[in-house]
A and B are shown apart, each in its own frame.
Chain A
Amino acid sequence: MFERYREIIPDFGNFLRAVRNFDLVSIRVNTLKAKPSEVMERLRDFGLERVKWYSHALVITKNKEKIAKTLDNVLGYVHIQRLESMIPALVLRPKKHELVLDLCAAPGSKTTQMAQMMKNTGRIVANDVSEKRLRALFSNLERLGVINTTVTKYDGREFPLSVKFDKVLVDVPCSGEGRNFREKPIALSKKLCRKQLKLLHRGIDLAREGGEIVYSTCTLSPIENELVVSKIIEAREDVKLERIRLRGIDFVSGTEKWLGLKFSAEVKKCARFYPHLSGTGGFFVAKFRKI
């Protein structure tokens, strides 16, 4: 399993062990409505443990299967969210009163996380092309009490250029190898890469000068990660890649080569997250600044 990534994943044996044993369940406290200490007190039967790199994230160590059926979850005081899915918003760091675009937003975990970081001020335009997934997004916005959003239904590749954003999140559809820990065909990654590239181009087009763009996937495949970033660096002069800085979590730099493919040296500024290093699912994140 994942043998083709042996050359890029450090301490590969430990990685495989971590993948086999991975059963992490985590929640995010919705600080629009609750404090982490209150939630920890109410949900003490779940053996909650704080996450050192994000004070609103809690890992569940007991009764994992029951967390969905708690009043705290039903009432939106907490949101069940994978730890790695909390990373892009922390990298983008949306602030109060900013105008933010979440180009592939549904079902809304990252949108609602950004809303709480912005304290329900400013505006997040949460876009998704899928009607079914938008229903889940609306439901999460209501349950979590998020009011600073405008939901749109465009193909992200053709999102209207009439508004420019302070910050743009491009969390693209991907093969999900880091989430499901199942190896996917390279052909699928190649197909997705074309779509991901178009989405990222559009995301950059939609950022204002000086604005920031975060690109993320939950896959291990460099074709959907470093290759997309490299192609952007080659094709555009209006963005620069910025180094990922996150305290309290271990990750490695993006890889410059894989299976005979060579990527831009700049991709070292990107970050790869692995279960045996960061305690999360597999994840990739890159940050650009529009110049």
Chain B
Amino acid sequence: MSRNSERFDVNKYLRENFGVSKKALRNVAWLEGKGIIRITSSEYLREAKKLNGTSGVVLFRKGRVWNPTSNLIFVLSHRCKRKYELGREELISLLKEGEIDKPLPTRGYVILTFQNLPLILGFHKHGKIKCFMPKEFREQVLEILEGD
């Protein structure tokens, strides 16, 4: 059941790493294809297949192991219980430099909040956090913070 396993258990990963409840994932289906896993509603999948469309949102991408994408912030972060708050200066440094020193109790992907709003998907290792948000998003947020 590890993240590089053929049988990557998404629900378990989200529960254990981000504290997403079983209830939050009750009506959800995971669609795997070409190195990605999409999250979508579990209903009318047969109809969706008939229409040859693209269902749901990409939530995991496979590198060496399955990794969450930045969409986790937009799609599930409000359901995640495990989050870490950043101060304004820390956030600005993270957005500008892409990395900051900040020891956290957990290793791996983390959700970082600012003023209690989940904002950044980061990766924590050896007391450093790396920012995993797209450049365009980082620039947008920086502009907002610096405009305040």
Interfacial residues, chain A to chain B (CB-CB below 8 A): 33-34, 69-71, 74-77, 97, 99, 120-123, 125, 127, 138, 141-153, 160, 162-163
- When A71-B119, A75-B119, A147-B39 are in contact, do A125 and B53 touch as well, CB less than 8 Å? yes
**Binding stretch for chain A, among B11-19, B71-79, B104-112, B124-132:** B71-79
Closest-by-CB residue of A relative to B59 is A147
Write the chain A residue with the least CB distance to B48.
Answer: A150
B residues apposed to A, CB below 8 Å? 27-28, 39-41, 43-44, 47-48, 50-57, 71, 73-76, 78, 114-115, 117-119, 137, 140-141, 143-144, 147
- A-B complex: 7 closest residue pairs judged by Cβ atoms: A148-B41, A123-B44, A152-B53, A150-B53, A150-B48, A150-B55, A145-B75
Cα–Cα, bound, A135→B7 (Å): 31
**CB < 8 Å neighbour of B74 from A75, A127, A150, A163:** A75
Question: From DSSP, what is the main secondary structure of chain B's interface residues?
Answer: mixed
B51 engages A69 (CB within 8 Å): no
Q: Can you give 25 contacting A-B residue pairs, CB < 8 Å?
A: A69-B140, A69-B143, A71-B115, A74-B141, A75-B73, A75-B118, A75-B119, A99-B43, A120-B27, A121-B27, A123-B47, A127-B53, A142-B71, A142-B74, A144-B74, A145-B57, A147-B28, A147-B40, A147-B75, A148-B40, A148-B56, A149-B55, A149-B56, A151-B53, A163-B51
Complex contact B141–A97 (CB within 8 A): no
| B39: chain A residues within 8 A (beta carbon) | 147
Most buried by B among A99, A149, A160, A162: A149
Q: B44 contacts which chain A residues (CB < 8 A)?
A: 99, 122-123
Q: What's the least CB distance linking B61 to chain A, in Å?
A: 14
Asked if residues A69 and B144 are in contact (CB atoms below 8 Å), the reply is yes
Nearest A residue (CB) for B147: A69
Residue of B76, B137, B144 contacting most chain A CB atoms (<10 Å): B144
- The reply to whether B144 and A147 contact each other, CB–CB distance below 8 Å, is no
Interchain CA distance A69-B146 in the complex, whole Å: 11
| Residues of chain B contacted by A75 (CB below 8 angstroms) | 73-74, 117-119
Contact of A97 with B74 at beta-carbon distance under 8 Å, contacts A69-B143, A74-B140 already known = no
Question: Could you say which residues of chain A place their CB within 8 Å of the CB of B118?
Answer: 75
Contact A142 B143 (CB under 8 A): no
Report A-chain residues with C-beta under 8 Å of the C-beta of B115.
Answer: 71
Instruction: With both chains docked as a complex, state the minimum distance between the C-beta of B147 and any C-beta of chain A, in angstroms.
Output: 6
Q: How far is the CA of A163 from the CA of B137 in the complex (A)?
A: 37
| Chain B residue with Cβ nearest A159 | B51
Supplied contacts A75-B73, A150-B48, 4 more A-B pairs, CB within 8 Å: A74-B137, A121-B41, A123-B41, A150-B53
Interface centre among B54, B71, B141 (most CB of A within 10 A): B54
Q: Is the CB of A71 within 8 A of B28?
A: no
**Alpha-carbon separation in the docked complex, A58 to B65 (Å):** 43
Cα distance A34–B77 in the bound complex, in angstroms: 12
Q: Report the separation of the CA atoms of residues A150 and B76 in the bound assembly, to the nearest whole angstrom.
A: 19
Give the complex CA separation of A76 and B74 in angstroms: 7
Bound Cα distance A33, B119 (Å): 13
Docked Cα-Cα span, A144 to B27, in Å, equals: 18
**Complex interface: chain A residues within 8 A of B47 (CB):** 99, 123, 125, 163
Which residue from chain A places its CB closest to the CB of B50 in the assembled complex?
A: A162
Q: Is the CB of B144 within 8 A of A125?
A: no
- Taken together as a complex, chains A and B put the C-alpha atoms of A34 and B44 apart, in Å, by 26
A146 / chain B contacts, CB cutoff of 8 Å: 57
For residue A145, give the distance in angstroms from its CB to the closest CB of chain B.
Answer: 5
Query: In the assembly, what is the distance between CA of A99 and CA of B39, in Å?
Result: 18
Given A74-B141, A75-B119, are A143 and B74 neighbors across the interface (CB < 8 Å)? yes
Interchain nearest-CB distance for A46 vs B (Å): 14
How far is B26's CA from A263's CA once the two chains are assembled, in angstroms? Answer: 50
